[in-house]
Structure 1
Amino acid sequence: MNIEQPKSDNLLTALVSGCTASAFAATLTYPFDFLKTQEQLNNPELMKKFNITNGPHTLGQMSKGCSALVLGSILKNGTRLISYNWTSKFMAIDGREGKTTSAPRTVIAGAISAFFETLWIIPFENIKITMVQNQTWMNEMTRIKEKIVDKTEKNLFKREYVSPHKYYTTEIFDQYFGTAQQSKFAAAAQKQIKNPFDTLIEHYNKHPSLTLSSTIKEIYSIKGISGFTAGTFITFTRQIAITWVWLSTYNATRQLIDPHKKSDDKGWFGHDYNALEKTGLHLVSSLAVIAVTQPLDVLKSHIQSKNGKGMYRDALSTAYKLFMQQGAKSLFRGALPRWCKLIVSGGLTASIYGYVEDIVNVAGGQKMFEEKRLE
């Protein structure tokens, strides 16, 4: 079955409208993203035990990492539009009425564009998470007046609060994996010969980066290029799962609402709905996305965290550790702010896109320095 490519905005209009809408929506909904990431990486039991608070107190604190997310969103949407436009034209077939394409070719074009746009998500997600952790660690440093120590515990992580938002030195990792030297002589010798890598870590623990450029420098200094590519597999898995769950739930809910509704040329999937039906479909679909993909999002955040490379090998081992150490509920932390973001972001992006599109179309019809004749 061949289908004609529908008439739509030109590429420039779509780029300007799409990227602008994405940037505005990402900025306005970023507080939800900050709270989600912070909640996912916190350890509530230890925080409660040692009386630790690290939540943001100002809007400025909640905006840390926003620059990385916005820049990533702009590049992601631009890549999506350009790659889909090029791929769909490349695979189009010459027909009697011009260029036509088939449904499988359209799906392939969408999959290719989704692959390229996901590549942009990964490095900027790593930068965003580090910026969120840096702000959170800064909050902890300024609020912890007296260190609380439980002398009955031998394990460092149970004896005192070791923040997951600061970089772990070699000594802390030894404590975490249970490979710490027991000999006092060996410990004293280790302190005399200080690891240069630990010196760099201690510097950034004392002076966490809070800007985009300084955070990029920080990640590269400590982790190298791999610091920007962490969580590649789990990010692709999450993106595929989001698309599959969203479309499946939307289609199933649509049929449940009105299974006998006839298709026409209006609306998503060839159906026309009123505002209440659209809102209901959006809410149910977004809720299903959260229920199914939230564990993947939590695993991604931990793998891309400051100490993710040293603490976790892969997604399965990360899930096992979180389940054993913090329980099953740890895999669903941050679900509420993420759901709020999904609900607001969809309608907000569509509204801003339409508004910017109208402006671009009006501006596109104007000519600069147009000469008018006076009669």
Structure 2
Amino acid sequence: MSVPSQDNLNNGDSLLTALVSGFFASAVSATFTYPLDSMKTQQQLTNNALLKKHNLEVAYSKTIGQFFKGGSALVIGSLFKNSARIILYNWLSKFMSIDTHDANGEHRQKTSAPRMVIAGAMSGFIETLWIIPFENIKITMVQNMLLHNEIIKYSDRFDVTGHYVSNKHHKPIQNIFSKQYVSPHAYLTSELYAQLKGARPTSKFNQGSNKIHPNYHNTTKLDSLKMKYNKSPSSTFLHTIKEMYQLKGMSAFTSGTCITFIRQIALSGVWLSTYNATRQLIDPHNTSNEQSWFGHKHTAIQLVGLHVLSSTAVVLATQPLDVIKTHLQLKNGKLVYRDSLSTAFKLFLSQGPTAMFKGAIPRGLKILINGGLTAAVYGKVEDLVNVASDQQVFGE
């Protein structure tokens, strides 16, 4: 049996330290900042024009527990995402490394800057795949919470799910959407979907004539499930996964894939370019030999300013993408919206241009706090792991 070299041991220890530190840092940061993420999502999901039309109020989170509804999905997703990032980046960097020799003639492996960028891009692609299913689960959990609040708040006045669409003579209402508020957080049954699209209501003479959407082959079973979950929305992580799978299958966890990738690429590009351009304005004659992104020396105030400006630029540039992503991942996202462009167009027409920047303030605060908090927790845990790794359990 061969004995590992000291370099391999060091690399192994560094990877383990990074994994443990990254695990705790992502968990603490995601948990602490989730109320801001919840506020952002709730603001994006709220159709103020529709509520005003029916003289209703927003049923936002009322308790601390509700502000953390959907947090389990985001935290678990963050843990998988950061673990995948560290492991993949470490492996890809080594895989693309070049054999070199140092001044003493010893063999070394070195990864060039362009290859490190490629490794970062590839690991970023994989980590984004982890975000998508958990984002879908989070949004469904937030919608279920809002629907639950609306049912309690308006149950004595009308049915917010729109299931009871017949009058006292048992004749279907021509279009319930023009007569009362139907919650956008409730699943659209085939009847409601037909009315939303302007088709005639179902009767014994025209059954089956409103099959507008090709997925409605087994409308009876699907509508029964939708009515069940509309009446009693799932409130836990596992129950929400079961609900989504029963109603949509695996496609429930892949909505918004393309727009999520575009948002992540834009986020990284805007943040890094803004940070680098601003620091060069602050210190245009930097003489540091270090050519990394963070090679300049700045005061604490300057660093805070850099992060604030970078976070603001990110929000201004990517908030419309985030809003579109949220609506594509709604319960009825695939029914109401077709693609990113049509989503943006419909939101602009129905809610105005400000709809594309809903949730910008809480999202900006989250981005600003998240970076500093993650770095602080990572550093503290890294120190603890390094100290613990030097301790012996059994002394001689």
1:299 shift after superposition: 0.5
1:154 shift after superposition: 6.9
User: Is the contact between residue 246 and residue 286 of structure 1 (CA under 8 Å) also seen in structure 2?
Assistant: yes
Contact 1:41 1:302 in 2 (8 A): yes
Of 27, 38, 44, which aligns to 1:34? 38
Structure 2 letter corresponding to 1:315 = S
Structure 2 stretches lacking a partner, 5+ long: 1-9, 103-107, 161-172, 211-217
Kindly report which structure 2 residues correspond to 1:25-174, keeping only aligned pairs within 5 A, or say none.
Answer: 25-50=29-54, 51-97=56-102, 98-144=108-154, 145-147=156-158, 155-174=175-194
Q: What is the deviation of 1:358?
A: 1.1
Q: Matches of 1:230 and 1:53 in 2, distance apart?
A: 26
AA aligned opposite 2:196: Y
In the other structure, the counterpart of 2:390 is 365
1:266/1:272 contact within 8 Å kept: no
Which residue number in structure 1 is paired with residue 247 of structure 2?
A: 222
CA RMSD for the aligned pairs? 2.4
Q: Distance in 2 between matches of 1:260 and 1:239?
A: 32
Where do residues 285-296 of structure 1 align in structure 2 (5 Å cutoff)? 285-296=310-321
Q: Residue 120 of structure 1 aligns to which amino acid in structure 2?
A: W
* Consecutive unaligned residues in structure 1, runs of 5 or more: 1-5
Deviations 1:137-156 (A, max 9, x none): 1111111131399xxx9753
Q: Does the Cα contact within 8 Å between 1:22 and 1:349 map onto a contact in 2?
A: yes
Please name the residue that 1:3 is paired with: none
Provide TM-score, normalisation by structure 2. 0.86
Aligned-residue offset at 1:181: 3.8
Q: Which residue of 1 aligns with 2:276?
A: 251
- Alignment partner of 2:206: what SS? helix
- Look up the equivalent residue of 1:88 and give its one-letter code: S
**1:22 is aligned to 2:32:** no
Q: Secondary structure at the match of 1:53?
A: coil
How far is 1:9 from its partner?
6.8
Displacement of 1:324: 1.4
SS in 2 for 1:270: coil
Once the 2 structures are TM-superposed, how far is the Cα of residue 252 of structure 1 from its aligned partner? 1.5
Residue-by-residue CA offset, 1:273-315 (whole Å, 9 max, x unaligned): 1110110000000000000100000000000111001111111
Q: SS of 2:111's equivalent?
A: strand
Q: Distance in 1 between matches of 2:320 and 2:174?
A: 32
Checking the alignment, whether the CA contact within 8 Å between 2:96 and 2:115 is kept in structure 1 is yes
Q: Percent identity?
A: 56
Which structure 1 residue ranges, 4+ long, deviate > 2 Å from structure 2?
A: 6-9, 153-159, 179-190, 261-269
Q: How far is the alpha carbon of 1:53 from its aligned partner?
A: 2.6
- Cα distance in 1 for partners of 2:85, 2:208 equals 56
Relative distance call for 1:106 and 1:299 in structure 2 (3 A) is same
CA spacing shift, 1:181–1:154, aligned 2, 3 Å: closer
Deviation at 1:203, TM superposition (A): 0.3
